[in-house]
Structure 1
Amino acid sequence: MKSPGFAAQPGQGEPIAGRDGRVSRAWANYFAQLALAQTGDDLRHLYEALAARVADLADGQTLRIIGRNSVNSAGTSVVEIQLVGDELSPGNTEYYGTGPDGAKGFFPVADAIEVEAADLDKVVGADGVVTLGLADVPDVGGGTLQKTVFDAKGRKTGTSAATTDDLDEGTGNLYYTDVRADARIAAQKGVANGLATLDAGAKLPANQLPALAITDTFVVASQSAMLALAAERGDVAVRTDLQKSFILTAEPAGTLGNWQELLVPTGNPGTVTSVALSVPTGLAVAGSPITSSGTFTVSYAAGYQGYTSVEATKLSGIAAGATVGATWGANLASIPANITSWAGIAPATKADASALAGKYDKTGGPITGAVSLQGNSSRFVFYDDNLDVPVIDVGAGYGTATDRNGYIANRNATGFIEVSAFNFSRRFRLVSDGFLFNGPLYPSDDNLYSAALASARFSVVYAGTGTINTSDAREKTPVRPLTAVELAAAIELGGEIGAYKWLEMVGAKGEAAREHIGLTVQRAIEVMQSHGLDPFAYGFICYDEWDELPEIRGEDGEIVQKHRAADNRYSFRMDELLAFIARGLAHRLDAMEQRLSAAGL
């Protein structure tokens, strides 16, 4: 068999594949000839042609494949062609293209579809499939009747004002017309469960009225006249001869048994002609008795008046028969008769006090209850047995005759109350502007009571030296070093110190309010917490709160306890806070010195 002739090998400019990705016709024919080669000469001929082509390439000719746009090419002797950003299995819900940022690759089809929210809804399923639907239209309420026209695709093409003429009648709902209304009324006239009619005189016919019982009243003077009445059932006959009334319960009226007497409820007959009012002793009444109409007026009788329960308690302590201005012995049985007028007792010496003690005999037993003693216009005093000074002896017999227990007295005219003990060596005075004492002030128990309260503070404490706080090692746990976290918090707290003014002083003095140096507790709490520390575990952070106290007044209206609102307050133990900050700053200085030393400075 003769081998077919072979065409020349495709030229150098002939592409192997076309734009559609298929092998070009020239190369397809060449490969077909190669497949049909039947003899060694044929194969040798083809091989020699390829070898010559390869030799041409070896002599410096190159075969270059260039990728354009979205196509990349790589390699020299073996060239690989692929799409930029290609994927192995992009899926049927993705498309290949260039994204908004210029990147090439496969992108979800759903991202390339935008809809008007007011017109369409877009739903992307888990598989990437996009479903479009009409968006819901909000119900904006009723309005003017409109006629709307839609095309074959359901799109609204126009609206216009509508009337009932545009609505077709149904089988059950019909338009109202005069003819139809008249026919309906005519069908309902005069029938059961229908409409009542009116006659020519605009009145209801008798056959459309229910049976009526109209009661008449007849006045007669005898039984025979009553039986002769043309009465109907329900009529009433008033018998003037008997002063009674009868009602006809059944017809005919000529039968006496058909008349029933109308009975009147029984009771105590009589007429009220007068009403009088009596009152207890001490009250007087005017306008009594009332015989027709009128008003009673009740008032205190002459020599009487009302009083409150508090006044009644005070009056109960006055002996029976006491009168205003009477002497003590005559009407106050609890006071001996030889005491005349209380206002006349104004002892000025110890001898006068002794005379008063002799007059007041208290051997009958202790004085109980509240006792109020009032002197003349200047004072009333008690005297010590050893000193010619006005005192209240609070412990007679304590110590020697020259070393009495003490007294409470208004010492002079400067207006202070003095409390003295141990022969005047220690005094405590309540003066007009505060307290005055000439001895040490200390509590009865050690380290148990505080001075002032969080809700009732001293404004300023003046002292010659600072306070002395206990720092005895025997009363403390061993002092531990501060941790790295605590040192960092201490350093940051040092940076928070600044200047401020008290708001209360700004309100009182305005711009003249003075500057103070420090920081707020709230900011210190924030700093401690930012370092993971519990601020309330440290003694320099203080917080107090208190409940509300109501105002309490005495019997005479004086304020015994002031009102206090519930509130709270943050405070510092400033000495401990500054010690904490100082340790942080010392740590910072140590670190700086170490770095300088390491740098040879």
Structure 2
Amino acid sequence: MAGQKVKLKDQLGRVVRVGSDATGATVGKDLRWPDGAVVKPSDIRNPSTDTGSTGSLAPTVWKLIREIPANIQKLAKLADIGFTTRGGDGEWYQRLIAQGEGIAVTNGDGVAGDPTVALAELDNVGGGALQKTARDGYGRLAGTSDATTDDLTEGSTNLYHTEARAAAAAPVQSVNTKTGAVVLGPSDVGAQPASANLTAWAAIAPAAKADDSSVVHKAGTETITGAKTFSVDQYLSGVGTALRTDANTGSYLTLRDGVVGVTLSSNGGMRFLVAGGTEAFRFQSGAAVFSFAGVPVTDNGVPWGDPAVRWSELRAANGTINTSDAREKTPVRPLTPAELAAAVELGCEIGGYQWLAMIEVKGAAARQHIGMTVQRAIEIMQSHGLDPCAYGFICYDEWPELPEIRHEWPAQPQVVDDFGNLVREAVDAGFEIVQQHRPAGDRYSFRMDELLAFIARGLAHRLDTVEQRLRDAGL
């Protein structure tokens, strides 16, 4: 017979010839292994140990038999645990019985035994509104509805309250030891007695009492006339509070006792008044305007200005008057040769300069000034063996850093009274800087009047020397 060759699934590459009239092979009869041994039913039950006739291929024998149907081969490929089912696409799938909400499943993969399905136990989460419940024959909740006390049977001790039972109860025997037709006073119910002014007000005949329009109210806009005298100190508090007069006068707040006080206004700034109501000084348009002499609190104890915060200019009709009273000084001594030599050299250092800050503002138009630098004066003094800091015309100041300080306030809602009258406007959260940040620094300065006096004495000494030489030369 002609037939055809079929390659065997072995490593030797052998083939067998299958006749054209072949109808297949039968396990245990004429189905053979590659070595020619007949395949027994026990051989294809996936034995756990090698039988010897199949070599090391016994555990995977199904993968080597072509005649096994494709769906069985797919079934053999499943590797997970669980139940097997075939889908509509012809594929095999493995499934587990999984628990759902309120359902408990034991042994869902069937490995340890048959699966069991039961209702899960529910925790008692407590009650709520009074309700009636209905259940079906299986004990499941079928519905709820509102319940009333009529749905509850009255017990032997928890009796319902009824009007008839209340009327039948014993009446009140006494109130605060009082019996019969009781009239209660404030002390009988723990109330405090009325204040004297309230009692006096109640005693006034209604016709003699002031009507509502004559009373100053806590809230709302009202006009108050006449002088008001308070027996105790009064305070204004809250954001934006103020005592205002007619806006046409521009005066907002006046605090005074008739002769001395402070007036705040929109067009006059802040005015400070002295005896007789005369203005002493005021703050207005970025300037302090004085009507009287400014005097420090203590003599020779308070500076005007600060090394770190200086006045840019000081304008006056006359120069400053400096104390030079012999009763307050040591005797004036003559300058030493070293001091005279330093004074002459300092005079030669006088020249022109410009302020760097002004150059940034005005450029080349910045004005020329005459003088010298303190650092150069220090060098000259030291070159003559003198201590610069021992002389009053040499000044050096330094200051620490100042942190920025803010005054902050939270947002405040609008406040109205019971009648809808505005008591306080809403206020947004915010802040104001009450102290600007200032870095640490230092600065050199001159007491120019003393420096010029020092230089003048040196120049006088130089003139004396020249005149003496002329005299010695007979000139």
Provide the TM-score with structure 1 as the length reference.
0.39
Provide the TM-score with structure 2 as the length reference.
0.49
Higher relative contact order (CA 8 A, sep 6+): 2
